[in-house]
Amino acid sequence: MTYILGIESSCDETAAAIVKDGSIVISNKIATQIAQHAEFGGVVPELAAREHLKNIDIVVNSALKEANLSLTEISAISVTNGPGLMPALLVGINYAKGLAIAKNLPLIGVNHFFGHIYSAFLDNELHILQDAENFPMLALVVSGGHSSLLLIEKDGTAKVIGATIDDAAGEALDKAAKLLDLGYPGGPIIERLSAQGDKKKYQFPRPLTGAGGKAVSKENRYNFSFSGIKTALLYHAKDLKLANDGENLSETEKLDTVASYQEAVIDVLDKKLFLAVKDFKAKSVVLCGGVACNNILRQRISKSAIKHKVRAYLAEKKYCTDNAAMIAGLGFHYLHKKELSDWQLDAYSRLPQISKVPFI
């Protein structure tokens, strides 16, 4: 049995988890900082680092306690070392290094983006990853930092075939909520309010999908763009206010607006993913990242997967937002391949070029 301790601090969650044999989540602890950042309408990196420092030891100990394990029973420590906010990442990395040195444990630096993809396989059978009938596999990573499409072949070679050229999907939802003064983070608030609104009431653009007869260049075929929807929202809100003689949007107008806006974002994600499925003859899709918590998006992707006759692996909601279980799970594969990090392990802020995934 291999138990890995995972540590995550790339953004505004301080998290620690223990995962057995790469997929069985024994404990999964998260200290969220949402309340601290809410008043700023977004994550403040220095504040995040300070909060991580306060919480990291508590969270790690609590993960060990819940798993009923001591550090002597742990096989390795894996830690997110990028992409993410540099000051925040450094807290997790330095803590993991200290613990690994003190307890003489292997240290493994893990890519947060791969972590999100791997979250779809937690509490799942790992033979999914060996099943040739699942490949090519297309992973849609939709979070506050990413809207990316990764094409994965059965030998593990992988390529980012599409990404956002401006805002990420989660960012588009967060910024919309800020613009309408609804609170932070926007995704869950917009989902909740949308349930009471009419998603067909207003028509927001579907950038880079060819909607409205707008041609899409070859290089943007699988790319996303969300800033246009956000700008359309800004003008839409101004127009409504003007029509209301300067009064703010009525409750119904607000609900219909967020429902229509969410629909536009989901529609773009669904259209782009399944355009790529068709083009690359993908056999399965993965949906992951914070935005994948959204029930309407989950239903839409599941329905399209049935229509296109592909398997859908949706990360469980509890593993969609940032967590350390996905980091611990991934660590198992590095340990297995003896691909360990050394004490020079450093943080990086941006997603590096990807040529293969570590879990196949």
Among 105, 321, 329, 347, contact with ligand KG4 (rule: CB under 6 A): 321
Smallest Cα–Cα separation from 132: which of 105, 163, 156, 106? 156
The full DSSP string for 235-266 is HHHHHHHHHTTTPPPPHHHHHHHHHHHHHHHH
**Cα–Cα distance measured from residue 204 to residue 225, given in angstroms and rounded to the nearest whole number:** 13
CB of 299 to Zn ion, least distance (A): 22
Specify the residue, 113 or 334, whose C-beta has the smaller distance to Zn ion. Answer: 113
The full DSSP string for 162-230 is E-BSS--HHHHHHHHHHHTT--SSHHHHHHHHHTTS-TTSS----TTTTGGG----GGGTT-B--HHHH
Task: Beginning with the edge strand found earlier in the chain, give each strand of the sheet holding 107-111 in spatial order.
Answer: 24-32, 13-20, 3-8, 76-82, 107-111
Which residues lie near Zn ion (CB under 5 A)?
143, 322
Q: Hey, is 340 helix, strand or coil?
A: coil
**Cα–Cα distance measured from residue 121 to residue 326, given in angstroms and rounded to the nearest whole number:** 9
CB of 113 to Zn ion, least distance (A): 8
**Cα–Cα distance measured from residue 272 to residue 210, given in angstroms and rounded to the nearest whole number:** 10
C-alpha pair distances (Å), 94 with each of 52, 57, 84, 153, 343:
11, 12, 15, 34, 10
Q: Which residues, other chains included, contact 243 with Cβ-Cβ below 8 Å and sequence gap of 6+?
A: none
Contact yes or no for 81/97 (Cβ under 8 A)? no
- Which span sits near ligand KG4 by CB under 6 A: 73-81, 166-174, 273-281, 302-310? 166-174
Smallest Cα–Cα separation from 286: which of 96, 72, 118? 118
> Which entry of Zn ion, ligand KG4, none binds 194, CB below 5 to 8 A by partner kind?
none
Among 293, 305, 324, 351, contact with ligand KG4 (rule: CB under 6 A): 293
* Residue 335 interacts with ligand KG4 (CB under 6 A): yes or no: no
Among 191, 253, 256, 263, contact with ligand KG4 (rule: CB under 6 A): 191
Specify the residue, 99 or 297, whose C-beta has the smaller distance to ligand KG4. Answer: 297
CB of 322 to Zn ion, least distance (A): 4
Smallest Cα–Cα separation from 117: which of 106, 107, 108, 128? 128
- Which span sits near ligand KG4 by CB under 6 A: 24-32, 61-69, 183-191, 306-314? 183-191
Please report, as residue ranges, which positions from 1 to 40 form the binding site for ligand KG4 (by CB under 6 A). 11
* Residue 188 interacts with ligand KG4 (CB under 6 A): yes or no: yes
CB of 56 to ligand KG4, least distance (A): 18
Specify the residue, 16 or 240, whose C-beta has the smaller distance to ligand KG4. Answer: 16
Sign of CA dihedral 80, 81, 84, 88: positive
* Residue 82 interacts with ligand KG4 (CB under 6 A): yes or no: no
> Which entry of ligand KG4, Zn ion, none binds 174, CB below 5 to 8 A by partner kind?
ligand KG4
Number of residues that bind ligand KG4 (CB under 6 A): 19
- The vertex-338 CA angle with 336 and 344, nearest 5°, equals 130
Specify the residue, 33 or 143, whose C-beta has the smaller distance to Zn ion. Answer: 143
Contact yes or no for 49/87 (Cβ under 8 A)? yes
- Which span sits near ligand KG4 by CB under 6 A: 140-148, 204-212, 214-222, 237-245? 140-148
* Residue 145 interacts with ligand KG4 (CB under 6 A): yes or no: yes
Specify the residue, 178 or 241, whose C-beta has the smaller distance to ligand KG4. Answer: 178
* Residue 173 interacts with ligand KG4 (CB under 6 A): yes or no: yes
Specify the residue, 134 or 294, whose C-beta has the smaller distance to ligand KG4. Answer: 294
> Which entry of ligand KG4, Zn ion, none binds 207, CB below 5 to 8 A by partner kind?
none
Contact footprint for ligand KG4 (CB under 6 A): 11, 143-145, 170, 173-174, 185-188, 191, 289-291, 293-294, 321-322
